[in-house]
Structure 1
Amino acid sequence: MLAPIWSDAPKGFVPGSAVDREVTVGEEERSFRLYVPSEWSRPAPALFVFHGEGGTPDTIQNYAKLDPLAEDRGFVVIYPKGEGRNWNYDPGAPIVRSRGLASFSSRNGLNPDMDRRFDDVAMVRTIVEKLAAEGLIDASRVFATGISSGAMFCHRLAADASDVVAGVAPVSGAMTDVVANRFDPPQPVSLMAIIGEDDPLMPVQGGPIAGLLPQDRGRVAPADETIAAYLEANGISGEPCVERLPDRPEDDGTTTRVYAYPPGENGALVEIYRIEGAGHNWPGKPSNYHVEMVGKTSQDFDGSEAVMSFFERCPPKPGVPYGPELGGQ
């Protein structure tokens, strides 16, 4: 897509294109890819997209294909790079830094140079502060999605950065039991979760993460307990409206039900997509691995479209400075 000849975008940003940038977090240089919609004209809502274990900003950008949807809706999209191609989704879980396919065949999944924890929550805070101070994003409308370990990290952001994120949409990624045991965000965080009922890597009833793989990655809480935690945190007590989506195509072996709860405190939303027969995938996209390893991919709906539609409807965080007011530019 060609960028416009003129633009009101802050200096250094080219609407209609993606650029790679760096930010200093403590003593670390962290990198991220940034997509700015071509018709940017004012501080825009921001969407963080976190790749899964072994992924990169490039792989999740090409896989989820969120840029065209963000273009239509005026969102800025941020693709951070996880150190060691993974995220610190649980400060109590073992450190697993991806070594590509070696992660699937060896108990030694660690890169010696990466055998330490990185403060990924601080990275998100720093990126938001920087981009808001530069006038690019609206700090009251910051959202996060991701797949697998990137989705698990979204749950940690909801727990530890509820003052930053207005909503999260984890795809095929559960909340760890450690985060669940202390989940009490001081501010409401809207939730949209896409859950494959037959996910072999994130057991819906709780248990070891990717138990079929050699390394210990910690454990996840049951999905029902995670949903209940968000409902309580957001002050939601009503029953959900349940919709069964049409099967498209009819022979893909999955059935999707959407549970939409009444709005909670400050209008916080909770919507859950539970997919019978689906595994560890992003709905509407091709599977990254053999179905025997990760399960079936539902084609009942486009997960990316559902994520963007949800965030469009999410309320902003009340009392959060707008755009450059955050940094006093």
Structure 2
Amino acid sequence: MKPLLAWVVMVWCDAAAAGTPLRDGRQSLAHQGIERGYVVRLPAGAPPAGQRWPVVLVLHGGGGDAAITEKTTGFTALGQREGVVVVYPEGTGRLGNHLLTWNAGHCCGQAMQRQVDDVGFIRRLIDQLVADYPVDARRVYATGISNGGMMSHRLGIELPDKLAAIAPVVAALFGDEKKPAQGVSALMINGALDASVPLAGGAPGGRFANAWDGAHPLPAAAQASFWAAADGCTGAPEVTTQGAVQRTRYRCPAGREVEQIVLADHPHAWPGGERGSRLGAQPSMALNASSEIWAFFKRHTK
């Protein structure tokens, strides 16, 4: 065991023995002079003997926050059932904790315009979680919706040493992304009825189209092609359709997996989740994205 990891384990064990409870709920850390918020949701009890909890980072969409994302995805309940630490990081905004966005490159809002170092924030957050909780640094995953899904792509590209897999939801790539230094398994979920991030690519729509920098996203299928190339997958993918659910799976080396799911009846929302607001789109119930994503994640470690 490496000295630093041994020290972290010793400190956590001493705290547990002394009856010090692990912190659950809203927390913060400072990064580049900005106080950044995040919400931690822990499983009940301690990890099984000799084991550590996996961690799933769930990133909100543009204009969202941790509370909205926790409600719409249902990931907290899943984490408690499955023994997963679920963390809801928050972006930045002009109005304090309102209308938060991520700097995903070409989107969105203030975070993009001010070139906020969201990658650095997430790197520090992962290190903080490893220091504060009995979590497995080899099983850290990132997912997110819309702007948060785009940020998940960026994290996979720039933090492949930290993440075992990513799962962007109703997101896209733009064509100027660099190949990551190492492979990261990726699951993408998109909707054929999505007007905000169109399945065919092109100009974004929806209420917040002006939050982008003018670059047009590629067709949704380009996400899978990008990660298939990054992961060394070869040959034509296998495409299957069952009802409203179409799956495209690539042939990848052992330990790597790339899959894209397109839902024929799905708009810009979290599949199988709750509607974000009365103005939000009604999600498809053809698939539960949170369950699908966790089933994908738990097959992968660093």
TM norm structure 1: 0.76
Q: What does residue 109 of structure 2 align with? A: 96
Q: Which amino acid aligns with 2:267?
A: G
SS in 1 for 2:252: coil
Question: For residues 19 and 251 of structure 2, what CA distance do their matches in structure 1 show?
Answer: 38
Q: Which amino acid aligns with 2:134?
A: L
Gaps of 5+ in 2: 1-14, 94-99
SS in 2 for 1:205: coil
Question: For residues 63 and 282 of structure 1, what CA distance do their matches in structure 2 show?
Answer: 7
SS in 2 for 1:52: coil
2:136 maps to 1:138: yes
Q: What does residue 101 of structure 1 align with? A: none
**CA offsets, 1:59-79, max 9 Å, x none?**
101111111211222211110
Question: For residues 125 and 19 of structure 2, what CA distance do their matches in structure 1 show?
Answer: 15
Q: Say which of 119, 122, 125 aligns to 2:120.
A: 122
Q: What does residue 296 of structure 2 align with? A: 310
Q: Say which of 185, 189, 193 aligns to 2:184.
A: 189
Kept in 2, the 8 Å contact 1:245–1:300? The answer is no
Question: For residues 8 and 301 of structure 1, what CA distance do their matches in structure 2 show?
Answer: 42
Q: What does residue 228 of structure 1 align with? A: 225
SS in 1 for 2:186: strand
Kept in 1, the 8 Å contact 2:193–2:264? The answer is yes
Rate the CA distance shift 1:300–1:277 in 2: closer, same or farther, 3 A: closer
Question: For residues 279 and 245 of structure 1, what CA distance do their matches in structure 2 show?
Answer: 18
Kept in 1, the 8 Å contact 2:107–2:147? The answer is no
Task: Show the 5 A alignment for 1:19-34.
Answer: 19-34=25-40
Deviation, 1:12, is: 4.9
Gaps of 5+ in 1: 1-5, 98-109, 247-254, 318-329
Q: Which amino acid aligns with 1:182?
A: E
Kept in 2, the 8 Å contact 1:10–1:134? The answer is no
Question: For residues 286 and 129 of structure 1, what CA distance do their matches in structure 2 show?
Answer: 31
Q: Say which of 240, 246, 252 aligns to 1:257.
A: 246
Kept in 1, the 8 Å contact 2:53–2:85? The answer is yes
Question: For residues 286 and 137 of structure 1, what CA distance do their matches in structure 2 show?
Answer: 28
Kept in 1, the 8 Å contact 2:61–2:145? The answer is yes
Kept in 1, the 8 Å contact 2:72–2:275? The answer is no
Q: What does residue 299 of structure 1 align with? A: 285
2:40 maps to 1:40: no
Q: What does residue 326 of structure 1 align with? A: none
Rate the CA distance shift 1:214–1:127 in 2: closer, same or farther, 3 A: closer
Q: What does residue 202 of structure 1 align with? A: 197
Question: For residues 278 and 68 of structure 2, what CA distance do their matches in structure 1 show?
Answer: 17
Rate the CA distance shift 1:164–1:75 in 2: closer, same or farther, 3 A: same
Kept in 2, the 8 Å contact 1:144–1:169? The answer is yes
Question: For residues 76 and 104 of structure 2, what CA distance do their matches in structure 1 show?
Answer: 25
Question: For residues 109 and 183 of structure 2, what CA distance do their matches in structure 1 show?
Answer: 30
Q: CA RMSD in A?
A: 2.6
Deviation, 1:170, is: 0.9
Question: For residues 198 and 24 of structure 1, what CA distance do their matches in structure 2 show?
Answer: 39
Kept in 1, the 8 Å contact 2:165–2:186? The answer is yes
Question: For residues 77 and 235 of structure 1, what CA distance do their matches in structure 2 show?
Answer: 30
2:40 maps to 1:51: no
Deviation, 1:256, is: 1.0
Q: Which amino acid aligns with 1:36?
A: L
Rate the CA distance shift 1:258–1:287 in 2: closer, same or farther, 3 A: same
Rate the CA distance shift 1:9–1:120 in 2: closer, same or farther, 3 A: farther
2:275 maps to 1:287: yes
Rate the CA distance shift 1:141–1:214 in 2: closer, same or farther, 3 A: closer
Question: For residues 65 and 211 of structure 2, what CA distance do their matches in structure 1 show?
Answer: 22
Q: What does residue 260 of structure 2 align with? A: 272
Question: For residues 55 and 9 of structure 1, what CA distance do their matches in structure 2 show?
Answer: 38
Deviation, 1:28, is: 2.0
Question: For residues 51 and 301 of structure 1, what CA distance do their matches in structure 2 show?
Answer: 19
Q: Say which of 147, 167, 170 aligns to 1:169.
A: 167
SS in 1 for 2:290: helix
Question: For residues 131 and 289 of structure 1, what CA distance do their matches in structure 2 show?
Answer: 31
Question: For residues 240 and 117 of structure 2, what CA distance do their matches in structure 1 show?
Answer: 39
Kept in 2, the 8 Å contact 1:162–1:185? The answer is yes
Rate the CA distance shift 1:10–1:50 in 2: closer, same or farther, 3 A: farther
Question: For residues 159 and 179 of structure 2, what CA distance do their matches in structure 1 show?
Answer: 11
Kept in 1, the 8 Å contact 2:43–2:83? The answer is yes
Question: For residues 123 and 239 of structure 1, what CA distance do their matches in structure 2 show?
Answer: 37
Deviation, 1:24, is: 2.1
